[in-house]
Amino acid sequence: MTQQSLQMRSPFLVVIGGLLLFLVAAVHHGQEIFTIGSVAGPVVALLVDGLPALGLAYAGYWLAENDSSPTNRWVIFRWCLAGVVLFGTIMGATLFVRAFEGRVITEPLFPLLVAINAGGIAGFVAGYYQSRARAKAHEAKTVSEAFEFVNSLIRHDLRNDLVVIRGHAGILDDELSSTDDVESETPDVIVDKVDEALTRIETSNAVAQTLVGDPDLETVDVADIAAEMASQLETSHRLTVTTDLPDQALVTANAGLRSVLDNVLENAADHNDADDPRIHVAIETTEETVRLSVADNGPGIPDDQRAQLFDPSGDDQGGLIFVGKLVEEYDGTVHIEDNEPRGTVFEVELPRAG
């Protein structure tokens, strides 16, 4: 019988093993009834060693009906067999020692059956959890590889397409420039949007690396990013954006920091229902930290909802669920305060780069 055949039949081997153990127990205790002339004791003993044997047989049946892979079934079977051998060997060794010492062993089969059944069930349970851990590890590896492939595909193919678009936008600009009395902003808009898309691709790659716990960190000027994104926000939304930024504020991060600012700023802008929506972006630096604050005059966030904003298991909050994870990977913190007299303040504090 090949290993593949054994893997397919392993649940039935557990069933057969359990039934055989029950049969041995039933025959043994049945003989005891005639030997000692009592029913109660052998019946109780059969409950002790027979029911676990039936439970082991049912476990094998459950495994056969379960959607586990043949490999995982084989893992469970081997653990079950190992438990039987281990517990049976230990009990057999104790009986052997007692016999070697000359002690009287009146019923060696009963404790041996109990030990074997207990070992089989314990091994089955241990094998089940081991197979689950293996399956989850394999699933995580598959998802990670797929994620890495898609990320690489987008970065490579989309980047090439955008570079071609930018090149043709330059050709279009030259052709329009050569035509008298023709002015168009289209080429400039195309180039700006392509540059923005290329930046987002780099940002997405940095975010991916950071979220999987393998980021390449470097010194980043958060003040420069904040100034750029605040300007873009005022252009793309109908609101007033003011800033209070130093010339430079260096932290240890990567391009994923742009995603942090992008999501916090977009959240402040998208949920601002004020008649005169305003956002204020400020950065304060100390010898050890850089604190970025984004204050709005929107409706505010109730206290009982703040803890859920950055929790992936909570309600969907869009990109905010990644903000907390990214900031944590940068050894920073993020929290929310009330803005007076109305609105919310998102504060991101990061260690200052040396």
The C-alpha atoms of residue 50 and residue 30 are separated, in whole angstroms, by 12
Domain membership of residue 213 (yes or no) is: no
Domain membership of residue 129 (yes or no) is: yes
Among residues 144, 165, 188, the one where a domain terminates is 144
CA-based nearest residue to 298, from 225, 223, 237: 237
Domain membership of residue 153 (yes or no) is: no
**pLDDT recorded at residue 35:** 83
Both 242 and 340 in one domain: the answer is yes
Under 8 Å between Cβ of 54 and 18 = yes
pTM over 0.85: no
**pLDDT recorded at residue 307:** 67
Domain membership of residue 191 (yes or no) is: no
**pLDDT recorded at residue 317:** 47
Both 128 and 225 in one domain: the answer is no
| Count: domains in the chain | 2
Domain membership of residue 79 (yes or no) is: yes
Domain membership of residue 169 (yes or no) is: no
The C-alpha atoms of residue 60 and residue 63 are separated, in whole angstroms, by 5
Under 8 Å between Cβ of 17 and 120 = yes
CA-based nearest residue to 327, from 275, 252, 272: 252
Both 140 and 7 in one domain: the answer is yes
Ramachandran category for residue 181: left, alpha or beta (phi over 0 → left; psi -120 to 50 → alpha):
left
Domain membership of residue 88 (yes or no) is: yes
Under 8 Å between Cβ of 151 and 204 = yes
Both 126 and 257 in one domain: the answer is no
Ramachandran category for residue 118: left, alpha or beta (phi over 0 → left; psi -120 to 50 → alpha):
alpha
CB atoms within 10 A of CB 10: 23
Domain membership of residue 8 (yes or no) is: yes
Q: What is the mean pLDDT of each run of 10 residues along the chain (354 residues)?
A: 69 92 91 85 90 93 84 89 93 89 83 92 92 80 61 58 69 66 61 67 66 76 92 82 93 86 87 89 93 91 76 56 82 88 91 86
Among residues 144, 179, 205, the one where a domain terminates is 144
**pLDDT recorded at residue 112:** 92
Under 8 Å between Cβ of 187 and 171 = no
Say if strands 278-285 and 344-351 run parallel, antiparallel, or are unpaired. Answer: unpaired
Helix (H, G, I), strand (E, B) or coil at 348: strand
**pLDDT recorded at residue 18:** 92
**H and E: helices and strands count for the chain:** 10, 7
- Residue range of the domain that includes 260: 218-351
Among residues 115, 144, 173, the one where a domain terminates is 144
DSSP per-residue string spanning 217-245: -EEEEHHHHHHHHHHHHHHHSSSEEEEE-
Both 229 and 138 in one domain: the answer is no
The C-alpha atoms of residue 217 and residue 250 are separated, in whole angstroms, by 12
DSSP per-residue string spanning 123-192: HHHHHHHHHHHHHHHHHHHHHHHHHHHHHHHIIIIIHHHHHHHHHHHHHHHHHHHTSTT---SHHHHHHH
Under 8 Å between Cβ of 131 and 68 = yes
Both 128 and 242 in one domain: the answer is no
Both 44 and 133 in one domain: the answer is yes
Say if strands 218-221 and 240-244 run parallel, antiparallel, or are unpaired. Answer: unpaired
The C-alpha atoms of residue 113 and residue 87 are separated, in whole angstroms, by 10
- Kind plus residue range of the DSSP H or E element containing 207: helix 186-211
